[in-house]
Amino acid sequence: MSIVVYADKCTGCTLCVKACPFAAIDMQPHEGTPHKLAVIDLDKCTLCNACVDACSKFKAIEIEVEKETSQELSHYKGVWVFAEQREGKVQTIAYELLGEGRNLAQELKTDLSAVLCGGEDIEEEVEHLFSYGADKVYLLHHNELKEYKSLTYTRAVAEVITKYKPEIFLLGATTMGRDLAARLAVRVGAGLTADCTDLSIDPDKKILRQTRPAFGGNIMATIISPNNRPQMATVRPKVFRRSDKKDGRMGKLIKFNPAINPEDLVVKLVEIIKDESVKINLAEAEIIVSGGRGIQEAKNFKLIEDLAKVLGGAVGASRATVDAGWISAHHQVGQTGKTVAPKLYIACGISGKIQHLVGMQASDTIVAINKDPDAPIFKVATYGIVGDLFEYVPLLTKKLQEIRG
């Protein structure tokens, strides 16, 4: 993108100078013009559009977006999913993306493909991607791709995108997916929408409609990338359900040897240290017991842990408790935490603000314990207990212990 000032339209009114929050515009004399003209310092300009809006009457300033011609856009075909793997195993998010990717591919009457990067034993995972719906798998095989490394993965995946040109590329909004997606988008000049909660195809224009919460979750914004390809989006785990597995389903395997140069290896992976405090992966847990500010202090998380333990579940938390330092951010559920969809979600002393609800309202059964009968959590709860959590949580734990022996 670039910004231009049209000398024949600029009247020297200085509205743009006043509008620019970055003091990037200066009025300077211009040969052949009786008044001074706006000159934009590109080192300070962030292309925020404020001056363009201020100059809407004269239309003397324009941000130019480099558009690929429609003919070039038509070279991009197919829906691709990044098949995230850890320790040589494809992660569930990849199967969830394949589930949604199939719907998009059907709408566009195109193929669904997965991109899998890994070391020597990764080929064993390819059959799973076929059985969850991939028509093709692009296998990027190299010892340096065994574990995720930002620079190496970016180079390798960008290379395969540039060669095969997918029109849509979906990644998980996981730690790995978020890091990779942002780098890839810059590398291949794509439009990227992070943390989508819904994806669909515009029936007329056949482009991807990417919906995500905006303004603190108060509105849902639908974003399109009409001028760039691929259209890239990240989606959090558990937003989409994985499609049914069809064992024995086969597809086309395309082996791709990425050019991994020594300069890619400026970052070396020395050791992976697992966080031992995370006993059960929240996003994968079938039962979650979460604590909110109602638990009053850090030590009372013991009540939540005891209930989670007797149910064989994981411990979740509201952001208020994470911000208070009562529990680590790994446990946070919600807009800026994890999106979960367990079979059972028990919310204890959580009010149910929208930013929490967006992360857990897809749970099959929600039980809320809150002493305020008007707490918004009860609007999404399957069962509600209006009462003191310090009374009901230990009672539940005790009863369940008795039942389970």
Ligand X SMILES: Cc1cc2nc3c(=O)[nH]c(=O)nc-3n(C[C@H](O)[C@H](O)[C@H](O)COP(=O)(O)OP(=O)(O)OC[C@H]3O[C@@H](n4cnc5c(N)ncnc54)[C@H](O)[C@@H]3O)c2cc1C
290 annotated as a binding-site residue: no
296 annotated to a ligand binding site = no
What 3-state DSSP class applies to 366? Answer: strand
For residue 312, say whether it is annotated as part of any ligand binding site.
Answer: no
Closest of 238, 252, 199, 223 to residue 337, by C-alpha: 238
Joined together, the tokens standing for residue 17 give 């100078």
* Residue 372 Cβ vs ligand X, minimum distance, rounded to whole Å: 4
Question: Looking at beta carbons only, is 20 or 360 nearer to ligand X?
Answer: 360
- Give me 337's structure tokens: 């935490």
Taking the complex as a whole, the smallest distance from the CB of residue 174 to ligand X amounts, in Å, to 15
Q: Is 354 annotated as a binding residue?
A: yes
**Annotated binding-site residue? 334:** yes
**Residues 237, 96: contact at Cβ < 8 Å?**
yes
Distance CA 188, CA 135 (A): 24
Residue among 337 and 384 whose Cβ is closer to ligand X: 337
Residue matched to tokens 């997606």: 181
- The least distance separating ligand X from the CB of residue 94, rounded to whole angstroms, comes to 24
Residue 288 Cβ vs ligand X, minimum distance, rounded to whole Å = 13
Rounded Cα distance, 270 and 247, in Å: 38
Shortest separation between residue 32's beta carbon and ligand X, angstroms: 51
The burial class, CB within 10 Å (0-12 / 13-18 / 19+), for 71 is exposed
Nearer to ligand X by Cβ, of 342 and 349: the residue is 349
C-alpha Rg value of the chain to the nearest Å: 26
Nearest to 290 by CA among 250, 342, 236: 342
Helices and strands of the chain, counted as H and E runs: 12, 21
Q: Which is nearer to ligand X, 191 or 349 (CB)?
A: 349
Q: Any idea of the CA torsion for 241, 243, 244, 250, to the nearest 10 degrees? A: -150
User: For 60, which DSSP code?
Assistant: -
Of 51 and 317, nearer to ligand X (C-beta) is: 317
Q: Is 333 annotated as a binding residue?
A: yes
The site for ligand X (CB under 6 A) is made up of 216, 292-294, 318-321, 332-337, 349-351, 353, 355-356, 359, 369-372, 375, 388-390
Query: Given the DSSP bridges, would you call strands 287-291 and 314-317 parallel, antiparallel or unpaired?
Result: parallel
Closest residue to ligand X, based on beta-carbon distance:
334
332 is in an annotated binding site: yes
How does 152-182 read in b/e, with b if 16+ C-beta sit within 10 Å? Answer: bbbbbbbbbbeebbbbbbbbbbbebbbebbb
CB atoms within 10 A of CB 133: 24
Least distance from C-beta 30 to ligand X, angstroms? 45
Closer residue to ligand X in complex, CB, 150/175: 175
Q: Which is nearer to ligand X, 124 or 388 (CB)?
A: 388
Please check if 99 is assigned to a binding site: no
Closest separation between CB of residue 398 and ligand X, Å?
A: 17
Binding region = 293, 318-319, 332-336, 349-356, 370
Binding region for FAD = 293, 318-319, 332-336, 349-356, 370
